[in-house]
Amino acid sequence: MADFDPIVVRKADGCWLTTTDGRRLFDGVSSLWCNVHGHRHPKIDAAIRDQLDRVAHVTTLGMSAETTEILATRLAEVTPGDLAHTFFSSDGASAVEAALKMAFQYWRQTPMPQPEKTQFLALGGAYHGDTTGAVSLGGIEYFHQLFAPILFSPIRGPVPCTYRVPEEVDPLEFYLSQFRELLHDHHHQLAAVVMEPLVQGAAGMITHPVGLLSAVRELCDEFNVLMVVDEVATGFGRTGRLFACEHESVTPDILCLGKGLTGGYLPMAATIARPHVFDAFLAPATDSKQFFHGHTFSGNPLAAAAAIASIELFDETDLVASVDQKANHLRKRLSGLLNHPNVGDIRGRGLMVGIEIVADRETKTPFDSNRQIGRNVCRAAVDRGVWVRPLTDVIVAMPPLVATMEELDILASAVIESIEQVLDQQP
């Protein structure tokens, strides 16, 4: 907080934020990766106002709300494969926590129980949120050092990064062999593999080899391990498909959603299970097989109304189909940065872009973190009317999906000029 840069937003419209001191900033990270259709979209605004005239909140413990029931049905229709049974919560970390408990409890109640399955396999560099279970899964070294006494230890997989893979090997085979060995050795104790698909966002826009997701799905089937996919960041059009899993025709056993679920309007997340998972919990109350988990604001009707309106907007527009074209345009504008001696990589999928700044391009050695290169670049971008945030020295460009080509040009120019300004000042 001692280094806090005071940016206080008074209002917003479309892809633009207006601060209390009168600055107008392009929202270059979609208000932390969640804004999909822009701020103050008339359809979503109207849906929330209409819901306010009916009911703002009812519990889902013992009852439900009509709007929430409709949303659950819509999610079953639009998510991959036979994902059909939704547990609602308020944020992505809570969705992951629910998935962990769901997978753990599943193996105690499935028709052929395997109570020894108590562990989870998570990727290196993983990030799944800031609650205790999510931090345990995560691969953020500092978090594990600080909170070690209250965390569990997952089986740690590789960081499947296409940028730092040894040049002489095939990236897919290199990482897949490690996954195969881990599942072969630990499947008897593994409840689930938990992973972000295609791109590990908070890890630095780590981009996986094409085919890894589907190959891990096959390994989970082979070794009888559940697959939990965290699409909190990648879901709802961000990668050029409604869900990143669709790129490789994967249906996980449990899917976690958040961020863009309500179009970035209200806190809501979802943990969605396939029928075989749901059926393990379906029993008379006296059997005590119900899912022992609950939230006061699960399935909040105001959030559900926003989410339904957001999903309808995807149906009514070609927004997802436009992502690839916009992504190609943004990458083309940024591509000149690859000639800069301190830009090591530009990566991501769809409108998830990370620009990694390095001290030495040949060795891929990062700058000393105390120099705060990424943060200084983002400060310079704000001076140019664009709000972006760094992941250490990876500059993230993740605009709302509705951004126009002209707005993407504004974003690209600000990022390019800011990187050049800050790096030119380095000794």
Domain boundaries, the chain: 9-33+319-424, 44-316
**Residue 296, annotated as binding a ligand:** yes
Please list, in sequence order, all residues whose beta carbon lies within 8 angstroms of the beta carbon of residue 257, skipping any fewer than 6 positions away.
75, 92, 95, 231, 232, 235, 236, 269, 270, 271, 272
**Residue 340, annotated as binding a ligand:** no
CA distance 375 to 394: 9
**Residue 68, annotated as binding a ligand:** no
**Residue 289, annotated as binding a ligand:** no
| pLDDT for 3 | 79
| pLDDT for 377 | 98
CATH number of 44-316: 3.40.640.10
| pLDDT for 171 | 96
State the CATH class of domain 9-33+319-424. Answer: alpha beta
| pLDDT for 271 | 98
- Give the tens place of pLDDT for each residue, 362-373: 999 999 999 999
- Give the tens place of pLDDT for each residue, 271-295: 999 999 999 999 999 999 999 998 8
Burial (CB < 10 A; 0-12, 13-18, 19+), residue 221, is exposed
> How many angstroms from the chain centroid is the CA of residue 308?
20
Tokens 């972000």 -> residue: 196
CA distance 254 to 167: 34
| DSSP states of 324-381 | HHHHHHHHHHHGGGGGSTTEEEEEEETTEEEEEE-SBTTTTBPPPGGG-HHHHHHHHH
Query: Phi first, then psi: what are they for 355, rounded to 5°?
Result: -115, 110
| pLDDT for 203 | 94
| pLDDT for 408 | 98
Residue 414, Cβ neighbours under 10 Å: how many? 25
Task: Tell me the β-bridge partners of 345.
Answer: 356
**Residue 299, annotated as binding a ligand:** no
Residue 40 contacts residue 14 (beta carbons within 8 Å): yes
> Does the predicted TM-score (pTM) go above 0.95?
yes
**Residue 244, annotated as binding a ligand:** no
**Residue 57, annotated as binding a ligand:** no
CA distance 399 to 351: 7
**Residue 238, annotated as binding a ligand:** no
- Taking the chain (427 residues) in runs of 10, the rounded mean pLDDT of each run is 86 98 97 97 98 96 96 98 97 98 98 97 96 93 85 96 92 97 98 98 96 98 98 98 98 98 98 98 95 93 98 96 98 96 97 97 94 96 97 97 98 98 87
**Residue 93, annotated as binding a ligand:** yes
| pLDDT for 166 | 86
